[in-house]
Structure 1
Amino acid sequence: MDAFVTRKRPRLEPTPAEDDSTEIKLALLASLHPHINHDVLLEALLVADGSVTDAAETLAQQVASPWKKQKTRAAGYHQSSLSSLRISPSSPSVGSVRPLTKRGRTLHLFDPKDVEAYTPCSIIHNFLPSGQADDLLRELLDQAPTYGRLEFKLFDRVVKSPHSFCFYVNSLAEVETQKTEYIYDGKPVDDVRQCTPEMLKARIPIEEAVNREIQRRIRDFYPNGKKLKYQSPEPWKANAAFVNCYDGPQESVGYHTDQLTYLGPRAVIGSLSLGVEREFRVRKMVVEDDEHRKDDGSLADAQGQISIHLPHNSLLIMHAEMQEEWKHAIAPAQAIDPHPLAQNKRLNITYRCYKEKMHPKYTPRCKCGVPTVLRCVTKSKDNRGKYMWMCHAGYVPGQDGCSFFQWAEFDDDGNPRWRTTPGEEKKVE
């Protein structure tokens, strides 16, 4: 009997070839595990690098244990926690977790442990007391009809943002400073407001939670338990916030990275979601080489994408590796479940930590006389991870901008090293 129990499991038949389609492999898995959801089967297959045998054995080990399932309100989608498939890393660190996404695929994550293991984010559900979250939502719903849409020039066309937004700071003095001294997309912002009472009230627990998550991220995920190069060791403070309003399932925002100009490198952002649940999608940026290029020559979605579901009153922390290495988006939805207070609206507050050392009075000015924008090289293999100052006056409708370019320099803690003499300017090809 002992020999029977301990002997190696016989290989499953039929064994699919490596080039069999995913549909065939899923059909084989479904025949072996007919009661397991299709999406869980796909996750197991991705983890097993396409091996039906390995995926089936992993699933078989879990049959006797209860599945942790969660359901999205909109689509009735079920997913077991990836940790229930025993695929969460035992000692996670940046770059050590095998990616689960494949080209052209979307992996949906719900469990906070899965989110922090496979993305540069962490999430806290039911963050504020329910009454406080509802009071904050009511305040923002009252102001949302007055929000504007950003108008900017993109590839010689004037476009508007596909959702409305407003910018808030903590005091009236900061409102005046933002209006008179700061530049966004090549021009000043006229509509800057003081945070509402409920926003100021929420700021305190958000600061505490973000700082706690930053330290946990460093301890549990970063190499040798040390902060990343250029990451600030100073406490994170929520001294500015953009509030975005998505009114209805089709309002969205495409893949992008957030500007680092006033945040500095390796910035951390805390985003509180209120109202309708929406999908927050992330995808890792890859270098321009033949290994990652798709058949049409593009790099978009070269490694697939991950969808993080953001219910009402959830706090998402985008950690220090997010803006330089990943892009994020709010995808359009085919259908949404209305929220009792917000109806079809989702409002999210993206709290940011503005650095005094990154004030525009210090940043280089381009030939247009405008403080420049800070960008990070993400596609070039040779310069990936370097920072640069560039003109962004060309985003303003009716203006062309200039060719200003200057490499940005920072110490290991992300403090800028300003040049005492103007740097060499050259045109960026």
Structure 2
Amino acid sequence: MDAYVSRKRRRISGPEKVRTPEPEPDIQGANKDVEEESTDFKLAVLASLHPNHNEETLLEALLISDGSVEMASDALKYDSTISPRKKQVIGYQSSLSSYRIGPAENGGPAKKTLTKKGKTVHLYTPEDIEAHTPCSMIHNFLPPEEADVLLQELLDESPTYQRGTFKLFDKVVTSKSTFCFYVDSWDEAERQKTEYIYDGKKVDDVRRSLPWMRKISIKVQEAVNLEIQRRIRDFYPGGKKLKYQSPDPWKPNTAFVNCYDGPKENVGYHSDQLTYLGPRAVIGSLSLGVAREFRVRKMVAEDDEYRKSDGSLADAQGQISIHLPHNSLLVMHAEMQEEWKHSIAAAQAIDPHPIAKNKRLNITYRCYKENLHPKFTPKCKCGVPTVLRCVQRRKGTRGRYMWMCHADYVPGQEGCSFFQWAEFDEDGEPPWAQKTKGERDKEGMRKEEV
């Protein structure tokens, strides 16, 4: 079994950058727990740490190390039969199903937790990604020529993108990457600038989606809807949608484009705001240019069992790294935003892309709900439409939604203590949904009469 299919590193003009070796993974703390696991699980851990080696080599290292993952890992690190250059090449890992770590026999997510506290497991294949995370992956999503044209279209516009600035814990924070917000029409762009609120304030720069963005949006819509139906059928209990998940077809009408220029630009762990998406939102994320790591981490409830020595719960169940190559579509499914957090990790080195050079462009297509327009949602004491959040950690209320003030996200402003539990029906519709639907129907009839 070939664990990796290597590819030559692409070069760009100018001096060649020297790749800094990745830091060696520390497996000291987890060794005791791993030694009690099955051979299949140990092989999966070794495959993540040493993706250059095939299963036979990993098994041999495990046998001569008397089943110790730590000793086997040390032996593989100093294996002279693997050249240093090959160890540094980014490639494609075989599926972890080769190690019998995968989905349940009758489909659905893997029953066995792959990650360990404080550790990172790297996933490459679509079957591993959908088995161990709430995501689906489609490699080579677009015909190569279409992906390149779309990438160039975004590269031409990316110098005008801006960094976000907001207040967090009384500190003014600036994002480490640039972004831009796109919608389907100029009329909608004007509505977004005058009626919608983001991080406690209105936004000035909202643009109409570029021509190729609009063309590709149709393909993204078709692919995401197919993935949603497959996820429901193969992964959800009883083959039924999740509570609060919309039964309607997913139709993207907004898109955020993020630009990561160089290996150090990144975004920390977060969940995407649900204010205009509603509960159990689905997002389609198209990656172009340089390949980067998309890391996900499942949130655990407040419990002493998972608490670290410093009292925090971060990384309580480890993290999973999904590698996002050029022209790949990642679908974040309905359980993602409420139960997981995600990030784009900083890298020590990257393989330049022949067109994008050191840049990664990422389009996140989203479906805004009309009945979650700010004119319908609760306003806080500051007079600002509130933000929708989900309780992720507190055991007693985990999974409940709430409306909260976010005026204090604006530098120089103070917020209020407004709080209100949010209510939704089985399909994720708010209590005022029927009323707003009636108003929209009347508005449509008036336009037809005119």
TM-score range, shorter chain: 0.7 to 0.9
Residue in 2 aligned with 1:105? 119
Q: State the Cα distance separating 1:98 from its structure 2 match.
A: 1.4
Q: State the Cα distance separating 1:76 from its structure 2 match.
A: 3.9
1:258 to 272, 288, 294: 272
Alpha-carbon distance change, 251 to 241 in structure 1, aligned in 2, over 3 angstroms: same
TM-score by length of 2: 0.79
Q: Indicate yes or no: 2:191 matched with 1:140.
A: no
Checking the alignment, whether the CA contact within 8 Å between 1:74 and 1:336 is kept in structure 2 is: no
Unaligned 5+ runs, structure 2:
1-28, 70-84, 435-450
1:96-129: per-residue Cα shift (whole Å, max 9, x none)?
A: 6211000111000001000000000000000011
Aligned sequence identity (%): 69
Q: State the Cα distance separating 1:216 from its structure 2 match.
A: 0.2
Q: Indicate yes or no: 2:278 matched with 1:267.
A: no
Residue in 2 aligned with 1:153? 167
Alpha-carbon distance change, 270 to 19 in structure 1, aligned in 2, over 3 angstroms: closer
Q: Indicate yes or no: 2:311 matched with 1:300.
A: no
1:167-188: per-residue Cα shift (whole Å, max 9, x none)?
A: 0001111101101110000001
Checking the alignment, whether the CA contact within 8 Å between 2:297 and 2:315 is kept in structure 1 is: yes
Checking the alignment, whether the CA contact within 8 Å between 1:249 and 1:334 is kept in structure 2 is: yes
Q: Indicate yes or no: 2:129 matched with 1:115.
A: yes
Checking the alignment, whether the CA contact within 8 Å between 1:74 and 1:337 is kept in structure 2 is: no
1:39 to 34, 46, 50: 50
Q: State the Cα distance separating 1:295 from its structure 2 match.
A: 1.6
**C-alpha distance in structure 1 between counterparts of 2:47 and 2:414, whole Å:** 56
Checking the alignment, whether the CA contact within 8 Å between 1:39 and 1:78 is kept in structure 2 is: no
Residue in 2 aligned with 1:411? 425
Residue in 1 aligned with 2:446? none
1:230-272: per-residue Cα shift (whole Å, max 9, x none)?
A: 0000000110000000000000000000000000000000000
Q: Indicate yes or no: 2:236 matched with 1:222.
A: yes
TM-score by length of 1: 0.82
Q: State the Cα distance separating 1:293 from its structure 2 match.
A: 0.6
1:91 to 106, 113, 116: 106
Q: State the Cα distance separating 1:84 from its structure 2 match.
A: 1.1
Residue in 1 aligned with 2:368? 354
Residue in 2 aligned with 1:197? 211
Partner amino acid, structure 1, of 2:209? C
Checking the alignment, whether the CA contact within 8 Å between 1:375 and 1:387 is kept in structure 2 is: yes
Alpha-carbon distance change, 36 to 302 in structure 1, aligned in 2, over 3 angstroms: closer
Unaligned 5+ runs, structure 1:
1-17, 56-70, 421-429
What is the DSSP-based 3-state SS (H/G/I as helix, E as strand, rest coil) of the residue aligned with 2:234?
helix
**C-alpha distance in structure 1 between counterparts of 2:223 and 2:92, whole Å:** 29
Checking the alignment, whether the CA contact within 8 Å between 2:378 and 2:385 is kept in structure 1 is: yes
**C-alpha distance in structure 2 between counterparts of 1:20 and 1:329, whole Å:** 26
1:327-385: per-residue Cα shift (whole Å, max 9, x none)?
A: 00000000001000000000000000000111111000001100000000011000000
Alpha-carbon distance change, 102 to 37 in structure 1, aligned in 2, over 3 angstroms: closer
Checking the alignment, whether the CA contact within 8 Å between 2:48 and 2:122 is kept in structure 1 is: no
**C-alpha distance in structure 1 between counterparts of 2:413 and 2:204, whole Å:** 19
Alpha-carbon distance change, 136 to 99 in structure 1, aligned in 2, over 3 angstroms: same
Q: State the Cα distance separating 1:155 from its structure 2 match.
A: 1.0
Residue in 2 aligned with 1:164? 178
**C-alpha distance in structure 2 between counterparts of 1:112 and 1:295, whole Å:** 35
Checking the alignment, whether the CA contact within 8 Å between 1:97 and 1:117 is kept in structure 2 is: no
2:328 to 309, 314, 332: 314
Checking the alignment, whether the CA contact within 8 Å between 2:35 and 2:67 is kept in structure 1 is: no
Alpha-carbon distance change, 390 to 42 in structure 1, aligned in 2, over 3 angstroms: farther
Partner amino acid, structure 2, of 1:294? K
1:135-161: per-residue Cα shift (whole Å, max 9, x none)?
A: 000010011000001100111111101
2:226 to 212, 215, 227: 212
Checking the alignment, whether the CA contact within 8 Å between 1:288 and 1:380 is kept in structure 2 is: yes
Alpha-carbon distance change, 393 to 82 in structure 1, aligned in 2, over 3 angstroms: same
1:186 to 195, 200, 211: 200
Q: Mapping of 1:387-402 within 5 angstroms?
A: 387-402=401-416
Q: State the Cα distance separating 1:86 from its structure 2 match.
A: 1.9
Q: State the Cα distance separating 1:87 from its structure 2 match.
A: 2.0
**C-alpha distance in structure 1 between counterparts of 2:135 and 2:30, whole Å:** 34
Q: Indicate yes or no: 2:232 matched with 1:232.
A: no
Checking the alignment, whether the CA contact within 8 Å between 1:37 and 1:78 is kept in structure 2 is: no
What is the DSSP-based 3-state SS (H/G/I as helix, E as strand, rest coil) of the residue aligned with 2:176?
coil
1:37-92: per-residue Cα shift (whole Å, max 9, x none)?
A: 853699999xx9xx97699xxxxxxxxxxxxxxx9996546633101112222123
Counting matched residue pairs gives 378
User: What RMSD, in angstroms, separates the aligned Cα atoms of the two structures?
Assistant: 3.1
What is the DSSP-based 3-state SS (H/G/I as helix, E as strand, rest coil) of the residue aligned with 1:161?
strand
Residue in 1 aligned with 2:75? none
Partner amino acid, structure 2, of 1:118? H
**C-alpha distance in structure 2 between counterparts of 1:181 and 1:73, whole Å:** 52
**C-alpha distance in structure 1 between counterparts of 2:216 and 2:311, whole Å:** 45
Partner amino acid, structure 2, of 1:136? L
